[in-house]
Structure 1
Amino acid sequence: MKKIKYTVLLGMLIFLIHCDTKKDYFDDIGANLLCTTYAICNGETPAKTGIIGDSWTDILLGFPLVETLRPQLENRYHYQFVGATLGGKTLQQVVSQGLQFQVIDQGGADMKVIILSLGGNDIQANLTEYIGNVSAVQTQRFATIKTNLKHMIATGNAYKIARFGGAPLKWIIHGYDYPNPYMPPVIAGSDEGCKSKFDRIGLIVPDAAVFTSTQLDAFNNLLVDITREEPSFIYIDLRNTLGGKPNSRAELMLDCIHANNLGYTFLADKFARLIYPITNVGF
């Protein structure tokens, strides 16, 4: 995902350089990118809903390669987000950079909910570590994800209450739908979650679809477990939206792990309906 992000970002910058060299234009573009990807905005931008997410919410810095969950929810369900969304973002990065505090700062006292789309990149990173040691590596990564999620929620709620008072935030996280490891990558080399990458790095699995779907089910089960320990943590199951186990339907997928526009339409519709009782937005 990082190669996609940087390739397209470079293309966007080259395009902008040839179109307009005015400093204020670049200032506007840069300010918008900082605000939407890292929640570094010029002053408070009050909103009732925050969002912190990976490429399922924003593949490429807001570039409309595909309408992911964030633009779907904004354009079709009238959400007004403050947030930090960026393809390739990991939960580890969010916690290390304190992005939950920046989103809370921007949302202000009226923000009640933060939507999370995180964890997938933490699982996908450094796939070579899985070779010959799948179970142990997955167990360690899931434990780290759980620790980071609980830390983000605890520190975020403490910060929100200390700064603005009121009740703790509600944190809504979705589990991902099943990958399709047999899809070709959109850009060569950007094949996280693809059987082609498994083969290339020597990660030999008997059946790629069984491997990825089993891993995804385990991740969703982890999120359910955390809800039992964190009363402000809410899990939304999006599995079987794009066709079902062991892999999502090719006609609804952009690549191995991302839906296409139609697929994200189905995902956003299901997600919006399930979170409406919590957010009261969209219907």
Structure 2
Amino acid sequence: MKTLKIFLAIGISFVLIHCDTKKDPLSDFEANLLCTSFAICNGETPAKTGIIGDSWTDLLFGYPFVETLRPQLENRFQYKFVGATLGGKTLQQVVSQGLQYQVIDQGGADMKVVILSLGGNDIQANLSEYIGNIDAVQAQRFATIKANLKQMIITGNAYKISRFGGPPLKWIIHGYDYPNPFMAPVISGSDEGCKTKFDRVGLVLSDPAAFTSTQLDSFNNLLVDITREEPNLIYVDLRNTLGGKPSSRAEFMLDCIHANNLGYTLLADKFARAIYPITNVGF
């Protein structure tokens, strides 16, 4: 977290240096950060597409450290988002904070779709709990993810219809591509999904790649199961974009679980094509 703050400070300095000194750049930066990362905006910001996501959509407070899915979709496929994207965000936090309501407020009556990039941090948190009890802990976490995801969609759509009328929103969620547990972390302390983290917490694995790829497959299967119960949820499979099972190729990876710029370019291409029939944006 300390290193994260350093990067944030660098990002703020970059903004201050390159902006119009007649304005209040710090206030502008804070307002943009609150709106894009925490869904706290001054009034509504109408858009047809919402987004709620973790570090696969915004790795570092909007700072262009890596062009993740959100900036890829905005810059290359003409998406205009309202939403809340922030590295480290969990599905549990989204539901607890009611971020779905805030994103709907921002999007307004014309918003039709919300893109979701969530669940990975819920699985990776407190890895030491898996020691000696992998199957049971994973089953419990998957059950919680399923309950939270369905609650977010059901309550979000009820709120949208109550406030703006019209049909329910479509919610698009992607599964992640395979991690590469043998990659080194780029930011100290951000080594979730890395063999180094498994070793440090005492989670002894004979084959870390088999563990992470099997867990990743199970998560994707869970999302497919949820779509059978929730008709307004649409799932996009991004597996095998960065090289395939059991581990994504190092040349496409920034660290254990995040792609680099080239990797996110490939992921965004696949994702944008998959969701075009729903969003009608980008091609």
Q: Which range, TM-score by smaller chain?
A: over 0.9
Q: Tell me what 2:64 maps to.
A: 64
* Uncovered stretches (5+) of structure 2, i.e. residues with no partner: none
Q: How has the CA–CA distance of structure 1 residues 161 and 256 changed in structure 2, closer, same or farther, with 3 Å as cutoff? A: same
Confirm whether residue 269 of structure 1 aligns to residue 263 of structure 2.
no
The corresponding residue for 1:110 is 110
1:235 aligns with 2:235: yes
Displacement of 1:24 after TM fit? Answer: 2.3
State the 4+ residue runs in structure 1 displaced beyond 4 angstroms: 13-23
Match of residue 5 from structure 2? 6
**Is residue 15–residue 25 contact of structure 2 (8 Å, CA) maintained in 1?**
no
1:190 Cα shift? 1.5
Indicate if the aligned counterparts of 1:5 and 1:59 stay in contact, CA closer than 8 A. no
1:137-148 aligned at under 5 Å gives the runs 137-148=137-148
- Distance in 2 (CA, whole Å) between partners of 1:128 and 1:50 is 34
- In the other structure, the counterpart of 1:281 is 281
Letter in 2 for 1:38: F
Q: Does 1:97 align with 2:87?
A: no
Partners of 2:90 and 2:118 within 8 A in 1: yes
Residue 39 of structure 2 is aligned to residue 44 of structure 1: no
Which residue type is aligned with residue 68 of structure 2? T
Which of 235-244 and 4-13 deviates more? Answer: 4-13
| Separation in 1, partners of 2:221, 2:167 | 27
* Unaligned ranges ≥5, structure 1: none
Could you say which residue in structure 1 is the equivalent of 2:256? 256
Amino acid at match of 2:277: P
**1:194–1:256: 8 Å Cα contact kept in structure 2?**
yes
C-alpha distance after superposition, 1:9-42 (max 9, x if no partner): 2443466678999882211110000010011111
1:131 touches 1:203 (CA, 8 Å); kept in 2? Answer: yes
Q: 1:179 to 1:53 in 2, by over 3 A?
A: same
User: Which residue matches 1:197?
Assistant: 197
Aligned partners of 1:130 and 1:124: how far apart in 2?
10
Q: How many equivalent pairs are there?
A: 282
Report the TM-score, using the length of structure 2 for normalisation: 0.96
Q: Are positions 1:125 and 2:125 aligned together?
A: yes
Distance in 2 between residues matched to 1:183 and 1:240, nearest whole Å: 17
Which residues of 2 match residues 179-218 of structure 1 at below 5 A? 179-218=179-218
Q: Which residue type is aligned with residue 144 of structure 1? A: T
TM-score by length of 1: 0.96
- Mapped partners of 1:22, 1:223: distance in 2: 49
Q: Which moved more, 1:272-281 or 1:185-194?
A: 185-194
Call closer, same or farther: CA 1:182–1:282 in 2, change over 3 Å.
same
8 Å Cα contact 2:16-2:25 kept in structure 1: no
Q: Is the 8 A contact 2:253 2:259 kept in 1?
A: yes
Instruction: Name the CA distance, whole Å, in 2 between partners of 1:163 and 1:37.
Output: 23
Q: Give yes or no for contact 1:5–1:87 (8 Å, CA) kept in 2.
A: no
Q: 1:108 and 1:83 mapped to 2: Cα distance?
A: 12
Q: List per-residue Cα deviations over 1:40-74 (Å, max 9, x = no partner).
A: 11111110000000000000111001000000000
Contact 1:128–1:203 (8 Å) recurs in 2: yes
Q: Which amino acid aligns with 2:247?
A: N
Further displaced range: 210-219 or 192-201:
192-201
CA RMSD of aligned residues (A): 1.6
SS state at 2:24 partner: helix
1:242–1:263 contact (8 Å) kept in structure 2: yes
Q: Work out the CA distance in 2 between the residues paired with 1:147 and 1:95.
A: 10
